């Protein structure tokens, strides 16, 4: 099925990749409603947490948005990265950024995340990034579908970024919290499947 990804001219900014092969390279970021690229200091902390897990991993970036997390993962040696994003203009920017970086390990699919997770994957993922728009109640549903439909490899790491006011009470039992921090209005956590 051919993807319809428009080359939309919207207000843009840039974001710098902070580590790995593409360190200091800029990617374009759209100024779109609900799109909040993960801040540099949060990405730096996250990838310090993941430093022994990222190389040669299979990553899934749900609600990819700017692609900050998935481009950072690929830059640091992830074997493959799948970006899932519903916004057509954001998908266009993701595709152009992947082409600019010659990032052959990154694939992108325009899809509603919950619809995408409703079916089992061909292969489970080692690392999953969940960073949905705030205030829409998408975290619990995404986590439940990841677990129910066997998206996670043994000992998979799951990164969850939310508003600080959101409590994560209904996570799968076998997900264990490894790390947790707050930066401004953002709470971010790393879980491991056991």
Is pLDDT above 80 for 31? no
**CA–CA distance, 37 with 118 (Å, rounded to integer):** 26
Confidence label for 9 from pLDDT (cuts 50, 70 and 90): very low
pLDDT score recorded for residue 158: 98
Tell which residue, 131, 159, 143, has the closest CA to residue 53. Answer: 159
Average pLDDT over residues 150-172: 94
What's the token pair of residue 140? 């619990």
Report the percentage of the chain scoring pLDDT > 90: 79
- Taken in order of first residue, the domains within the chain and their CATH numbers are 12-193 (3.40.50.150)
Average pLDDT over residues 144-150: 97
Please, what is the Cα angle at 86 between 78 and 145, to 5 degrees? 70
DSSP string computed for 29-51: EE--TT--PPPHHHHHHHHHHTT
DSSP string computed for 133-174: PTTS-HHHHHHHHHHHTT-EEEEEEEEEEEETT----S--TT
What's the token pair of residue 14? 């840039």
Average pLDDT over residues 23-43: 84
Is pLDDT above 90 for 26? yes
């Amino acid at each position: 099925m051919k993807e319809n990804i428009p080359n939309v001219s919207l207000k843009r900014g840039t974001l710098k990749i902070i580590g790995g092969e593409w360190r200091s390279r800029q990617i374009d970021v759209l100024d779109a409603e609900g799109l909040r690229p993960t801040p540099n200091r949060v990405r730096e902390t996250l990838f310090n947490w993941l430093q022994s897990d990222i190389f040669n991993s299979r990553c899934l970036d749900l609600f990819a948005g700017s692609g900050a997390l998935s481009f950072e993962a690929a830059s640091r040696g992830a074997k493959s990265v799948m970006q899932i994003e519903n916004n057509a203009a954001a998908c266009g920017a993701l595709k152009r950024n992947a082409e600019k970086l010659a990032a052959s390990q990154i694939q992108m699919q325009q899809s509603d995340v919950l619809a995408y997770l409703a079916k089992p994957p061909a292969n489970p993922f080692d690392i999953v990034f969940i960073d949905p728009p705030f205030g829409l109640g998408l975290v619990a549903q995404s986590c439940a579908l990841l677990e129910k439909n066997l998206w996670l490899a043994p000992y998979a790491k799951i990164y969850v970024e939310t508003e600080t006011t959101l409590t994560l009470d209904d996570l799968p039992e076998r997900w264990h919290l490894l790390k947790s921090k707050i930066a401004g209005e953002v709470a971010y956590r790393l879980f491991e499947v056991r």
